[in-house]
Amino acid sequence: MPVHVIVGSQWGDEGKGKIVDHLSENVDIVARYQGGANAGHTVVIGQQEYILHLIPSGIFNENVICVIGNGVVVDPAALLEEIEMLRSFGLDIKKRLLISHNAHLIMPYHKLLDRLREEQNSRIGTTGRGIGPAYIDKFSRTGIRIVDLLDREVLCKKIKTNLEEKNKVLKQIYGEEELQVDDIIEQYQEFDKLIDEFVTDTSFYLNNALKENKTMLAEGAQGALLDIDHGTYPYVTSSNPTSGGACTGLGIPPTAITKITGIVKAYTTRVGNGPFPTELFGEESDLLRRWGNEFGATTGRPRRCGWFDAMLVRYSARVNGIQEMAITKLDVLSDLSEIPVCTGYRLNGKILKTFPTDEKRLDKLEPMYETLPGWKQTLTEITQYSDLPERAIQYITRLEELTGIPARIISVGARRDQTVFKDV
């Protein structure tokens, strides 16, 4: 059975939601494999915009089963809000949403600690959704999983043990009030009742589906440069958005993966702190932000904007095994008469062969640019690749040459129908 992995190739916000929604028309299952409610996947259908944080973007296609895998950290409050939002639009998700019993839960102390750590030493610029602290507990083997909700005794014991430690940290380091065990237990038992119908062994489900030759999209959140192992550490998220994360985050074998598509924004953006070699400042940055509506879908923070960085995408292609690109937001560049593209980096006068991931070198890089002519023409109503202006095709072709990845999909607007497929 073919598993098609969709990854963010830059620093997230490449428009994965839209592409996953579009591609899910032709698959049986869409499964999210990492991250949590830090993600904001935007899907626009007709005039309606939907923002998803946890539920896979395939949910709008009624024949698709959506899976939240074991690699995701689930905030029950955010999940219930999202389920409610979908129901309010008349979407029937009964029997269409499955949540892994092994997924870890975001607890109130995770969100609190995330916020306090950022306030005291705001280095990363996290989304404040408790992601880092939840993954810390997962890896220190003290995390609470969805399966623990089933047994009140186990849940109470685990919450108590966690709170003993967390309350000391909250009180002694941050001077905060201690959290009450009973309140949390009550709250999470209530969540259990509400999400129980969706919880199952999703790895078992997915592997059975593999045997039945069902087709599946594995949906990553964030992007490769935010990957805990391969990103611009420490300015990263705490999971593996890269394609390898799809196997561990869903419990499926690497041999099931048949295709990897990298979602690539036609320029570059980043939210939060950290190195960004092609970042623009002042008017140029403001323009891109305005044209591209570059504000975080989860936090509303203005995104930092810059030119397309081919060195970064080549690196992303390497660590993900990207076989084809979906280039998004090409329409945003339509008013520019010239478009610079970063072809590589110089450091201390030498051209670098690979993307450096250490902060010190990344801060000192000199990006090398070439400038391509703009097309100065609206793209938003174009539906055929051959109808794109010649200079837009020239831009796409150059990105293909510089990154070594063929483009397959071009997005020319936020709506589902504003998508152009290039024949390969």
Shortest Cβ 34–ligand IMP spacing (Å):
10
Which of these segments, 6-14, 285-293, 307-315, 406-414, binds ligand IMP (CB under 6 A)? 6-14
One character per residue 319-358, x = contact with ligand IMP (rule: CB under 6 A): ----------------------------------------
Residue from the set 6, 98, 131, 388 that interacts with ligand IMP by CB under 6 A: 131
Q: Which is closer to ligand IMP, CB of 132 or CB of 344?
A: 132
Site for ligand IMP in 223-242 (CB under 6 A): 226, 235, 237-238
Site for ligand IMP in 63-102 (CB under 6 A): none
Which residue has the closest beta carbon to ligand IMP?
Answer: 272
Shortest Cβ 357–ligand IMP spacing (Å):
15
Beta strand 48-52 with 41-45 is antiparallel
- Say if residue 302 is preceded by a cis peptide, omega within 30 of 0: no
Q: Which is closer to ligand IMP, CB of 237 or CB of 419?
A: 237
Q: Which is closer to ligand IMP, CB of 43 or CB of 131?
A: 131
Site for ligand IMP in 22-61 (CB under 6 A): 38-40
Residues 6+ apart with CB under 8 A from 53: 36, 37, 38, 39, 40, 41, 78, 82, 298
Give the active site residues. 13, 41
Q: Which is closer to ligand IMP, CB of 28 or CB of 81?
A: 81
Are 47 and 78 contacting, i.e. CB atoms less than 8 angstroms apart?
no
Burial class (CB in 10 A: 0-12, 13-18, 19+), 77: middle
Shortest Cβ 266–ligand IMP spacing (Å):
17
Size of the site for ligand IMP (CB under 6 A): 21
Residue from the set 58, 76, 132, 143 that interacts with ligand IMP by CB under 6 A: 132
Shortest Cβ 173–ligand IMP spacing (Å):
19
243 touches ligand IMP by CB under 6 A: no
Which of these segments, 128-136, 138-146, 330-338, 391-399, binds ligand IMP (CB under 6 A)? 128-136
How far is the CA of 38 from the CAs of 5, 82, 130, 270, in angstroms? 20, 13, 8, 14
AA letter at 367: P
AA letter at 336: L
Q: Which is closer to ligand IMP, CB of 129 or CB of 314?
A: 129
Q: How many CA atoms lie within 13 A of 335 on its CB side?
A: 7
Which of these segments, 175-183, 219-227, 277-285, 371-379, binds ligand IMP (CB under 6 A)? 219-227
| CA quadruple 168, 169, 170, 175: dihedral, nearest 10 | 90
116 touches ligand IMP by CB under 6 A: no
Which of these segments, 8-16, 23-31, 157-165, 403-411, binds ligand IMP (CB under 6 A)? 8-16
310 touches ligand IMP by CB under 6 A: no
Q: Which is closer to ligand IMP, CB of 134 or CB of 412?
A: 134
125 touches ligand IMP by CB under 6 A: yes
Cα distance between the two ends of the chain: 22
Q: Which is closer to ligand IMP, CB of 221 or CB of 339?
A: 221
Site for ligand IMP in 251-290 (CB under 6 A): 271-272
What is the binding site for ligand IMP (CB under 6 A)? 11-13, 38-40, 124-127, 129, 131-132, 221-222, 226, 235, 237-238, 271-272
